[in-house]
A and B are shown apart, each in its own frame.
Chain A
Amino acid sequence: MAHVLIVDDEPAIALALEFLMQQDGHAVTSVRTAADALAAPVPDVVLLDVMLPDGSGLDVCRALKARDAAPHVLMISARGRDVDAAHGLAAGADGYLTKPFAIADVAARVRALLAGDA
């Protein structure tokens, strides 16, 4: 069982991600802002929205990746452009998902990241 942190200010999307992760047997923490994301205990995987009310998810990603025992970060954005993906990867993200996403895709990506650890 892994610890997943969900960072998204859209309650409906957060709810969907929470359900998905719990269904896969993970412990889930869900927050809505960049500040709360940085204050939360360091998880194994972060599902991180790019546009947060109090800042950019890219900055959060950079800050998380700078920590000891950095988590895996999967960026999620509604701007489905290649240039955004490039930014996200430059900020150290492990992967990039575009809204609207297929739930099977999300679950598979998280599983793949965690399998890399084992």
Chain B
Amino acid sequence: MTPGAVVAVALAYVGLLFGTAWAAERSAARGRPWTASPTVYALSLAVYCTAWTFYGSVGRAAEAGYAFLPVYLGPTLAAVLWGVVVRRLVRVCRYHGLTSPADLAAARYGRSRALGALVALVSVAGIVPYVALQLRAVATTFDVLTGSEAPGAADATAAWVAVGMAAFTMLFTTRRLDAAERHEGMVAAVALESVVKLAAFLAAGAFVVWGLFDGPAALVEEAAARPDTAALLALPADGWLDWTALTLLSALAVILLPRQFQVAVVEVADERALDRATWLFPLYLLLINLFVLPVALAGRLRLPPGADADTFVLALPLVAGQDVLALAVFVGGLSAATGMVIVATTALASMISTHLAVPLLLRAPDGADLSGRLRLLRRAAIAVVVALAWAYASSLAERTSLVSIGLISFAAVAQLAPALLGGLWWSGATRAGALAGVVGGAAVWAWTLPLPTLVDAGWLDAAWMTAGPAGLAWLRPHALFGLDGMDPLTHSLVWSALVNVGLFVSVSVARPASAADLADARLFVRASGAGRDPQRRTAPVEALAATLTRFLGPMRAAASLAAYRRRRPSAVTDGVADAALVQHAEALLAGALGPASARVVVERVATRAPAAPDEVLSILDEAHEARALAEAHAARGRTLDRQRAALEAAAVELRDANARLEELDRLKDDFVATVSHELRTPLTAIRAFSEILHANPDLAPERRAEFTDVLIRESERLSRLIESVLTLQRPSAGPASDVDLASVASDAARLAGADGGPPVTVDAPAPVTVHGNRDALEQALLNLLSNARKMVDPAAGRVSLAVRADAGRAVVTVDDDGPGVHPDDRERIFESFRQAERGPRVAGTGLGLAIVRRIARAHGGDVTVADAPLGGARFTLDLPLRDDAA
């Protein structure tokens, strides 16, 4: 087959994946993500089956018969525990905004940066060979398919594959920054790939069994007749230790490998999906393994001796002249490899950027917007991982089988299991214990598994393996402390598990956690995975908003905060965010920065609060609820249970409603106090000058004129204020009808420009219809325009107004080329009687923008401010279109 044709097919396939991803993101944006489907979730878990499964299992089976199986038995066993282990992980990670094993380690052990970085390093070191394996598999099979035998061709092919995959991954996953948000497109593409690779493998297997042989019986008969293939059919008599070790290892890997953690824990849209995975995922594994042994036997029987067993799946149809099937197999293998590379590099990139690079970024001066730099960092991390993998593929992996490379990775991530899983069930586990365990285990791993591959590659003296480094026999990598004659993998696992668990437990017990760390730990060990932040921190909401803006960008920061405050209006009192909101902000930041850095940046603005009476109350409530629950369980009738639940739900609602009322009452008091203050100012001037004029009938005429001028001006100001306060209190008073915003815009622009000064350019080409009160909407636009005109140069300033319909919303933007609004002020300016603290102070009632916001919200929309293309501020008024106009 010509390389051109194969590349064309591969590119077409990648195009299909993009299309799927795009469609999935559209469905998610409409609020009905495909990825919420339990079947899609189970299929995405099958990213576990990589090129190793697709090509390597057959290679392994052709060497050692059933020995390929434990790697799939482990996950099958793990699937039984999915509802317990993964559910706990999902809840903990969602609650704390964690997106990787490194996040989890850092968060569980007191926001330890060291531990997060360590886990990230171990993961990178462990997974790079695994990614290398995928590159090599795609490159090798490409060369087999196109028949190119040139020496060095595989390296060049691998380089192209690496570049393609890196680009592909970046396009797929780093468009959005917040890793805590799910990548619906990626998951949908991975699920599709799982279907494709399974179908391709089943097709190849069916062809081999029924096309090349007369069914399974004939194949087995022929294999049994030859001693070498007959041996593969025999069940292994010994080696139970190796089987057990491998089964356990893969059970851990299917949860803790970065890509598995990503799809199984981070990307879950709905917890209920976990239940279906319990049977669907093992079923998938069964199907994809069905033809492994038959294909291995067929390869041995039909292909010339010395053929690479890792490419049997591809070589068998190719040799039989079935080019189309061979191409399908190649696409299946490509699916298996790309799925792994995309998810694994995405997961690694997030770990690298949050745990290894972000701490450096945090030294940047305060106030700088770092969201762009964070995105760049993610992309760079992806490039680095793929480049490392390519380097590994071209220098080391030449002679190593696919399976043995993969197992090195499994063994690496297994070193994280005691700290991560132990930490979720054992509150006594400490940071020092976790660090010691992971360091010790990883050291043993590095010594016993990757190091020998360096010897194989000729980088180290072969005597290291036989006599030990510097003649120290007890340090021989495959016979540590004299434990000789074991399978290298099992040998490594035995020692690393012993060292890892031993250190983890003994150090944790020897140096118990401080009370504060223990309180943190309980958050993770608690069954629900969620709990009240024991730190009870509060922070000025503006400082919190500024921090969010700095790392998430202004749009997302403002939207997240606004959404939270709508949900819990009582979260902010007197401009101070309560503990729950601070914790929520930290979780949001953890998605972008990792938990340790998120804690650091939040600590910069937060202060510890004493136990508030309401918190004491809610702790009492919690105790009461727990007792009620226990009683309910003890009680017989289900009816009783339901009634109690309904009562408690009603009580909770009532309490919430009360809290909201109190909050509203307080807001109203504040507002009345502020309004009366604002009214007193012009009133004072009016009274003073009336009295002066009254007491001084013989004032000079020009003095008299000056004073009466003030009287008139201040009276006008008083009426304006009263007018504004009325509008503010009843933002959409008056009849509602269909209103064309385009015509409102041109009216408002004319009114605003009537007094001379900077003109307003209007861009409203088509009618945009909303449902609402025309006068109120015109007032909103007028306020925005007059605000913009105050900000720009009176002679040369520019103000432009645009009206558009966009994705079911009516969007009005008002841009100016004034000084803009500082990010810290972007919420403040919409509050009553507040102006920006930075930038020019201008005359006004201090209510204009507050009125715009009230009107916008009364119409089911909102108004926000950002940087304008003109250089100044852009105010965006966003309203729902009239229902049938969308």
Given A19-B692, A78-B677, A79-B677, answer yes or no on A99-B683 (Cβ-Cβ < 8 Å).
yes
Q: Is A113 an interface residue (CB 8 A)?
A: no
Q: Is B680 an interface residue (CB 8 A)?
A: yes
A23 proximity list for chain B (CB < 8 A):
696
Q: Mark A9-32, 1 if CB is under 8 A from B, else 0.
A: 010110111011001000000000
Q: Mark B687-722, 1 if CB is under 8 A from A, else 0.
A: 111011001100000000001001001100000000
Inter-subunit contact A100/B677 (CB<8 Å): no
Given A53-B841, A100-B688, A101-B684, answer yes or no on A12-B695 (Cβ-Cβ < 8 Å).
no
Inter-subunit contact A103/B695 (CB<8 Å): yes
Inter-subunit contact A13/B681 (CB<8 Å): yes
- Interface residue tally for chain A (C-beta within 8 Å): 20
Q: Is B601 an interface residue (CB 8 A)?
A: no
Q: Is A115 an interface residue (CB 8 A)?
A: no
How many whole Å from B457's CB to the nearest CB in chain A? Answer: 70
Given A12-B710, A12-B713, A53-B841, answer yes or no on A99-B681 (Cβ-Cβ < 8 Å).
yes
Please, which residue of chain A has its CB at the minimum distance from the CB of B682?
Answer: A12
A103 proximity list for chain B (CB < 8 A):
688, 691-692, 695
How many whole Å from B677's CB to the nearest CB in chain A? Answer: 5
Q: Which of A53, A80, A101 contacts B688 (CB 8 A)?
A: A101
- Interface residue tally for chain B (C-beta within 8 Å): 22
Distance in angstroms between the alpha carbons of A80 and B691 in the assembled complex: 20
Q: Mark B28-40, 1 if CB is under 8 A from A, else 0.
A: 0000000000000
Q: Is A118 an interface residue (CB 8 A)?
A: no
Inter-subunit contact A79/B673 (CB<8 Å): yes
Q: Is B455 an interface residue (CB 8 A)?
A: no
Given A53-B841, A79-B673, A103-B695, answer yes or no on A16-B681 (Cβ-Cβ < 8 Å).
no
B687 proximity list for chain A (CB < 8 A):
100-102
Q: Is B318 an interface residue (CB 8 A)?
A: no
How many whole Å from A92's CB to the nearest CB in chain B? Answer: 23
A69 proximity list for chain B (CB < 8 A):
none
Inter-subunit contact B841/A78 (CB<8 Å): no
Q: Is A1 an interface residue (CB 8 A)?
A: no
Distance in angstroms between the alpha carbons of A19 and B689 in the assembled complex: 10
Distance in angstroms between the alpha carbons of A53 and B837 in the assembled complex: 10
Distance in angstroms between the alpha carbons of A103 and B686 in the assembled complex: 11
Please, which residue of chain B has its CB at the minimum distance from the CB of A105?
Answer: B691
Q: Is B220 an interface residue (CB 8 A)?
A: no
Distance in angstroms between the alpha carbons of A106 and B534 in the assembled complex: 55
Q: Which of B682, B683, B710, B841 contacts A15 (CB 8 A)?
A: B710
How many whole Å from A50's CB to the nearest CB in chain B? Answer: 10
A100 proximity list for chain B (CB < 8 A):
680, 683-684, 686-688
Distance in angstroms between the alpha carbons of A103 and B692 in the assembled complex: 7
Inter-subunit contact A99/B680 (CB<8 Å): yes
Q: Is A104 an interface residue (CB 8 A)?
A: yes
Q: Is B685 an interface residue (CB 8 A)?
A: yes
Distance in angstroms between the alpha carbons of A32 and B571 in the assembled complex: 37
Inter-subunit contact B677/A20 (CB<8 Å): no
Binding site for A on B (CB under 8 A): 673, 676-677, 680-689, 691-692, 695-696, 707, 710, 713-714, 841
11 contacts between A and B (CB under 8 A): A12-B685, A12-B710, A12-B714, A13-B685, A13-B688, A16-B689, A19-B707, A53-B841, A78-B680, A100-B683, A101-B688
Binding site for B on A (CB under 8 A): 10, 12-13, 15-17, 19-20, 23, 51, 53, 78-80, 99-104
